Each structure stands twice: as structure tokens, then as C-alpha cells.
């Protein structure tokens, strides 16, 4: 649905990208481009800004050179970000807004952690200004974002953005969100068995792979939502140096509400606690659709669901959280694995022939 590239609205807070921005990645890439990265785009991204993924669907590909920090446009952040009257900063902490910071974009992906206290707008502006000068690139002018603004909204849940310029792929079931973030490594899941896999978005994730991707010095981790039958996945790129997350790409959609955060996992506070403590950090959101992936069955087709509803849903959701589901899922998976193993022992092809 067209809304997948449309406005973001949450709790009276709306983000409407300009028509020329067909995806947040593009937006983010544009930021990099404006910093002079454009000339290196092809080099840093062998397959271009977007590369073709499976089934010919354009997939996100960051054009950001590995060492180039994502920076905000050289304009006053306040020009496109403002807290609507009646909306407290605390509420914003749970709103899927997009913010830029000097080296990252602050936002809430699906839940929205906005460590506002960590963000220094002036610093960001100064940085971008200096970088623009350094590059001598006129594209760094703020004009590119003139049409880019946050709007405060009053109520209506979803204002489906009926732009007709959305990419077909975004109209399909899969939604991808790209986040650029800077997350203190101390907040990250601490390897081993008890890592907090909730990260900051309130969902439970299980890491199922890691790769060193071409064109980036940062390893990319692959996560799946542990919720039973949820197809949501995300890719997280983390800086080797400090462990900060440099990019998060969401793929798919949650088919369940956000799990309750009242339960603490073995590693300490849950996502909610982290958020409230303000030391978590997912920073940017770039929802490919106006619905967050957390919406039940939120496909691009039925994305006219409200974030507000989601929040309400989260507050009153059933008590069986996702942990049991995760366990069930795990158990089922283990069982399946055992069965497969048994089968392979009797038959012959190994696990590698599963496909």
C-alpha cells in the first residue's frame, strides 16, 4: 500500500517524507550523499544504492561509506522536529519518530527509544556544517530536505499517505525499516547465554547468523523475532570499534503485539526499563510503512492501523507474552531438528540438502 512510504504518525506525531524520498534508506543515503559520499557511492556499494535481492525486489543497501558517519542535514533540527503540545517527552520515547544526530539517526524503530539526553543538536549542526565545508560540496545544502519535515498531528491514527510514488516492493507484505543508530556497546546483548536479546525495540530477537559484508567493515548480524510464527527479521550492523549499531534493517512484519516488558529476563531489565533508564538507544527509525512492524498482520495492504492502537494494545495485551512462545518455538525447532537428524541418519542426505 502506498502508506508504506507515507507518513509516520504516532501519538499525534507525524513524519511525512517528501515525495522524492521513496524510502528511508534513500533518505539516509541522501544524507551521506550530501556529505560528499555520492561520488563514492558506486564504489562503496557495488550494486548501487539499491541492489536487487531475491525475486528482483529492490532491497535496501546503505550507500554510506563505512567510515562516513550519517549526519543530519545542515539545518536546525528544530525545524523538523518538535514535540507537539500535549505530548510529553516520555511519550515520545515510545514513538516511532526519526531523528538525526551527529553520527547517527535517533529514533524509535518499532517502539522507539529516543535517548534525547544523549543528543546534542548543536554539535550535530556544527559537525554537518564543518563537513559540508570540508567537502565543498554544494549538495550539502539544506535544500534537499526542505520538503522534509515532521508534522504534529492531532489525532487520527493513520493518515495513509496516498502517494503513488512508492516502490512496488514496499507495497508488498514485506516491510523494511532501516535504522541508523549509535548504541553504546554496553547496552548491547552481551554474548553468551544470557544476553538481552530484546535489544531496545521491545521484541525478543534471536540471532541466527552473522556476516562480514562487502563494502563495510562492520559485521552484520541477523536476528529473527522469537515470537511464535512471527516472520519479522532484522539485520544489525555494528561498528567494530565501539560496538555501536550503525544500521538496522527490519524486514517483514510482526504478527503479534509487542511483548510485555514487565518481565525481566535473566540479564536484567527488559526493554522498557532500558528505555526509561534512557541509556538505550535505538536511534532512528525509518519505517518503510506508516505501520510499524509490530502491528498485527500489518501488511502494506492493511497498514491503516494506528500506532496509538498498538500502544493501547501493548498495555492490555494478553499475559502470555512472547517468552512462552519463544520457548515453544524453540522446542518445536529442536524437536524438528532432532527429527530431521533422526531422519538423516536413516535416510542419507545431510542437513545441507534441506533446500
The binding site for DNA (CB under 7 A) comprises: 46-48, 51-56, 59, 189, 191-195, 197, 204-211, 213-216, 220-222, 224, 226, 233, 235, 326-327, 330-331, 337, 340-341, 351-355
Q: 92 or 199: whose CB is closer to DNA?
A: 199
By beta-carbon proximity to DNA, the closer residue of 214 and 318 is: 214
Cβ at position 65, least distance to DNA in Å: 13
In the complex, least distance from residue 169 CB atom to DNA, rounded to whole angstroms = 11
Pick 84 or 184: Cβ nearer DNA: 184
Tell me how far, at minimum, the Cβ of 330 lies from DNA, in Å: 5
Q: State in angstroms the smallest separation of the CB of 199 from DNA.
A: 9
Residue 128 CB-density burial (10 A; 0-12 exposed, 13-18 middle, 19+ buried): buried
Q: What are phi and psi of 2, to 5 degrees?
A: -60, -25
State how far the Cα of 82 lies from the Cα of 62, in Å rounded to an integer. Answer: 27
Q: Which is nearer to DNA, 88 or 210 (CB)?
A: 210
By the 8 A CB rule, do 69 and 62 touch? no
| C-alpha R_g of the chain | 20
Q: Look at residue 312 and give its three-state secondary structure.
A: helix
Task: Give the shortest CB-139-to-DNA separation in angstroms.
Answer: 25
d(CA 133, CA 178): 28
- Residue by residue, DSSP assigns 219-271 as EEEEEEE-STT---EEEEEE-TTT--EEEEEEES--SSPPPPS-S-BTTB--H
215 vs 308 by CB, closer to DNA: 215
- Furthest-apart CA pair in the chain: how many Å? 68
Q: Which residue lies nearer to DNA by CB, 159 or 180?
A: 180
CB of 74 within 8 A of CB of 125?
yes
CB 204 → DNA: shortest distance, Å? 7
Which of 74, 259 has the CB closer to DNA?
259
CB of 245 to DNA, least distance (A): 13
Helix, strand, coil share (%) of the chain residues, nearest 5 = 30, 15, 55
Amino acid at each position: 500500500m502506498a502508506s508504506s512510504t507515507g507518513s509516520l504518525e504516532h501519538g499525534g506525531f507525524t513524519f511525512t517524507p517528501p515525495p522524492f524520498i521513496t524510502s528511508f534508506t534513500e533518505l539516509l543515503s541522501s544524507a551521506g550523499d550530501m556529505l560528499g559520499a555520492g561520488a563514492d557511492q558506486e564504489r562503496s556499494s557495488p550494486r548501487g544504492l539499491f541492489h536487487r535481492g531475491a525475486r528482483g525486489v529492490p532491497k535496501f543497501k546503505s550507500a554510506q561509506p563505512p567510515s562516513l558517519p550519517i549526519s543530519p542535514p545542515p539545518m536546525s533540527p528544530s525545524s523538523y522536529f518538535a514535540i507537539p503540545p500535549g505530548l510529553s517527552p516520555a511519550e515520545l520515547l515510545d514513538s516511532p519518530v526519526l531523528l538525526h544526530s551527529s553520527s547517527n539517526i535517533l529514533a524509535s524503530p518499532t517502539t522507539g527509544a529516543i535517548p534525547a539526553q544523549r543528543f546534542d543538536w548543536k554539535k550535530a549542526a556544527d559537525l554537518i556544517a564543518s563537513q559540508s565545508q570540508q567537502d565543498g560540496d554544494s549538495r550539502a545544502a539544506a535544500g534537499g530536505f526542505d520538503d522534509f519535515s515532521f508534522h504534529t498531528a492531532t489525532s487520527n491514527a493513520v493518515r495513509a499517505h496516498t502517494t503513488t510514488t512508492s516502490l512496488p516492493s514496499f507495497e508488498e507484505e514485506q516491510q523494511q525499516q532501516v535504522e541508523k543508530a549509535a548504541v553504546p556497546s554496553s547496552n548491547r546483548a552481551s554474548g553468551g547465554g544470557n544476553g538481552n536479546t530484546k535489544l531496545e525495540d521491545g521484541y525478543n530477537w534471536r540471532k541466527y547468523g552473522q556476516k562480514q559484508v562487502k563494502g563495510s567493515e562492520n559485521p552484520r548480524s541477523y536476528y529473527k523475532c522469537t515470537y511464535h510464527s512471527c516472520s519479522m527479521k532484522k539485520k544489525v550492523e555494528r561498528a567494530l570499534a565501539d560496538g555501536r549499531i550503525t544500521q538496522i534493517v527490519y524486514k517483514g512484519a510482526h504478527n503479534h503485539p509487542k511483548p510485555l516488558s514487565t518481565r525481566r529476563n535473566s540479564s536484567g531489565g527488559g526493554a522498557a526499563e532500558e528505555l526509561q533508564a534512557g541509556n538505550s538507544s535505538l536511534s532512528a527509525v525509518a519505517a518503510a510503512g506508516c505501520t510499524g512492524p509490530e502491528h498485527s498482520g500489518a501488511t502494506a495492504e492493511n497498514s491503516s492501523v494506528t500506532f496509538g492502537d498498538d500502544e493501547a494494545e501493548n498495555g492490555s495485551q494478553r499475559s502470555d507474552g512472547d517468552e512462552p512462545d519463544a520457548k515453544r518455538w524453540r522446542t518445536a525447532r529442536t524437536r524438528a531438528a532432532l527429527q530431521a537428524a533422526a531422519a538423516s541418519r536413516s535416510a542419507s542426505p545431510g542437513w545441507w540438502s534441506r533446500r
